A = this chain, B = another copy of it.
Amino acid sequence: MEHLFSDRVQQVKASEIREILKLTQMPDIISFAGGLPAPELFPIEALKNVASVVLDEMGKEALQYSTTEGYDPLRSKIAARMIRAGVKATKDDILITSGSQQGLDFSGKIFINPGDYVLCESPSYLGAINAFKAYQSAFKEVKTDHEGMDLADLETVIQDTPNAKFIYVIPDFQNPSGRTWSLERRKGIVEIANRYNLVIIEDNPYGELRFEGETIASIKSFDTEGRVIYLGTFSKTFSPGIRIGFVLAAPTLLNKYILVKQGADLQSSTLSQRELNQYLEMYDFDAHISKIREVYKKRRDLMMETIREAFPASAKCEVPQGGLFAWVELPKHIDTKALLIKAVENKVAFVPGGSFFPNGGQENYMRLNFSNMPEEKIVEGIQRLGKIIKESL
């Protein structure tokens, strides 16, 4: 039946994330591979209370079909949080999605014709790359440094790419690089998008997990022409298992997302939306996020410290100011895919960096997650990795 498959699905290959999630399920492995939050911080008791209240007070509504856009009180609360973060928003700018991954998929569906280009940071998020590839996109990687995209390079790339559709960026504690964009670059990319009439997709799953320094205004907050689409999620601050994210965009653009969601899965879970809304009413979400930040900061500090001690001097790693990931550059001749095989033999896992470069050719990076492992395992795992890297030099 091969001949019946669509052209687009021929391009969809098993991603390493998936194989890696399988690895992380082995009980005795120290995994820096997935992007998993720390499960010991999940608000389990709160969710139990919230589930009772929702089922007692509005069980019939919570288990029924609802509108595609999402539960209005939750949409309003998200809008209020975005206003606090400097983005003008009302509930009508918000569509509830099943995680922000769904926002990425919809972005591909809405903008990409086969052969169209996505402009992205180099490196960029593997899950986004795969979502866009399913719509037969091509990619141009824009040079990126510790302040974000190199905007001069971005302009050159745009001038060179007539069928560019959107610029996809993760400006806060980027996945995989851990880097954060400067304020100037954020303002600058909006000016460029305005000038060349392009859309920006600002993916911000980690922004609330800042360990130090001042919060930097989102790219969306500088959007005067309604051309920035902002993707948010509760996966890293509440629970990834309930699959609640959102798209924030100007109504004309958002309307496309709503229509596409209707065909894709009608709506996100009514029950999960009402439970999350009830949680936000009954509990102090900001205090909960502070607790997460505190724990992850310790883990980040410990990972950085152990990397400095255990990795060879030729391994480079910037200190991420937040988020979930550290990104290590090794000498050019080291292939981290081969390194992973040795690592797994030694019961430690990470993600080889190659698949974060959509056009390939850069195999000497590794992504290390520091949110999911307890402190003693971070030390032990990084020491093991250090030994393996030194042996490969």
Give residues in A with beta carbon < 8 Å to B. 1, 3-9, 12-15, 17-18, 21-22, 25, 34-37, 39-40, 42, 44-45, 47-48, 51-52, 55-56, 59-68, 97-99, 101-102, 104-105, 109-113, 116, 127, 130-131, 133-135, 165-166, 197-199, 227, 235, 239-243, 252-253, 256, 259-260, 262-272
Contact = CB atoms under 8 A, between A and B. Distances in A.
A131 B263 CA distance: 5
Contact of A63 (B8, B242, B259): B242
A15 B262 contact: yes
A393 to B, nearest CB: 34
Contact of A241 (B25, B64, B166): B64
27 contacts: A1-B197, A4-B166, A5-B110, A6-B110, A6-B112, A6-B116, A8-B113, A9-B256, A12-B260, A18-B68, A21-B67, A25-B67, A42-B60, A42-B63, A44-B59, A44-B60, A45-B55, A47-B55, A51-B52, A65-B241, A98-B243, A98-B269, A101-B263, A239-B271, A241-B270, A242-B270, A242-B271
B39 A63 contact: yes
A12 to B, nearest CB: 5
Copies assembled: 2
A68 B127 CA distance: 13
A280 B165 CA distance: 46
Nearest to A61: B39
Contact of A135 (B6, B21, B256): B6
A266 B66 CA distance: 22
A4 B60 CA distance: 41
A40 to B, nearest CB: 7
B64 A266 contact: no
A111 B64 contact: no
Nearest to A12: B259
A15 B259 CA distance: 8
Contacts of A105: 263-265
B130 A262 contact: yes
Nearest to A97: B265
Contacts of A44: 55, 59-60, 63
A134 B260 contact: yes
A15 B263 CA distance: 9
Contacts of A101: 263-266
Given A6-B112, A63-B242, A130-B263, 19 more contacts: A3-B197, A6-B111, A6-B116, A9-B110, A9-B111, A9-B256, A9-B259, A12-B260, A21-B67, A34-B65, A36-B65, A37-B64, A39-B60, A44-B55, A47-B63, A48-B51, A52-B52, A265-B265, A271-B272
Contacts of A113: 6-8
A153 to B, nearest CB: 21
B242 A5 contact: no
Given A99-B266, A102-B265, A42 B59 contact: yes
Contacts of A6: 109-113, 116, 135
Contacts of A112: 6
A7 B270 CA distance: 31
A54 to B, nearest CB: 9
A197 B2 CA distance: 10
A373 B241 CA distance: 34
